[in-house]
Amino acid sequence: MADPNRLVHSLIGRKPESTALIEQALTHRSAGPVNNERLEFLGDALLGFVIAEVLLQRFPDASEGDLTRRRATLVNREALARIARTLALGDYLRLDPGALRSGGHARDSVLSDALEALIGAIYLDQGFACAKQMILRVFTDALAEVANRDAGKDPKTRLQEWLQARRRSLPEYEVIAITGEQHAQRFQVRCRLADEERSCIGDGSSRRRAEQQSAETMLTQLIEQEEA
């Protein structure tokens, strides 16, 4: 296994106070009872907070649903594993021989958990400010990408792409009510998923706006469910 002190030095500019703590963060549960599961729990909470704070600052006009969606894009197993690979984190992991032979050091789940555990360990070793700085550094490219990825995309398009990425059926939209005078009508539209019993209602001054609102609500619910 590569030297974990070297990894930490590359991330925060100095060696850790406790090498044992960093080694624990890089130890998979297959390697023994002293492993990174508890540190992963801590790192997950820290990461979620820091990313939420950054998004709140960078997107002052974004809705709660949009912020939730952006956070989910940044903080998920696949995204964390990609960052872990850029850090060559797999070279520093401790696994039992069987897990190592089966390629455990390269699995998304193992890499993402180890990255979160490392964040937790750096927080305990160096404090919140250092952990936050490390998070912002390794997420620089991902944050820039998420800032530009959905520029100009409406909620219906984003919902469709989210479902397609998971090989799920596309939503169905249905006008369920039209109220008001001809010159000031209000539309209610139901967005329904064909592959599960879930629907959301949107309201707007046109059918299109009502559809967009229902799609935004649906996407927010799906992301929150996936995060839970």
Residues that are catalytic: 44, 116
One-letter amino acid at 102 equals: S
Q: Cα Rg for the chain, rounded, in angstroms?
A: 22
Q: Is 61 annotated as a binding residue?
A: no
Q: Is 195 annotated as a binding residue?
A: no
178, containing H or E segment: strand 172-179
Q: Is 40 annotated as a binding residue?
A: yes
The answer to whether the beta carbons of residues 84 and 61 sit under 8 Å apart is no
Q: Give the C-alpha separation, 81 to 144, whole Å.
A: 18
193: Cβ contacts below 8 Å, ≥ 6 apart: 163, 168, 169, 171, 172, 199, 218
Which residue, among 165, 189, 163, has the nearest Cα to 175 in the 3D structure? 189
Feature table: binding site for Mg(2+): 40, 113, 116
Q: Which residues are annotated as a binding site?
A: 40, 113, 116
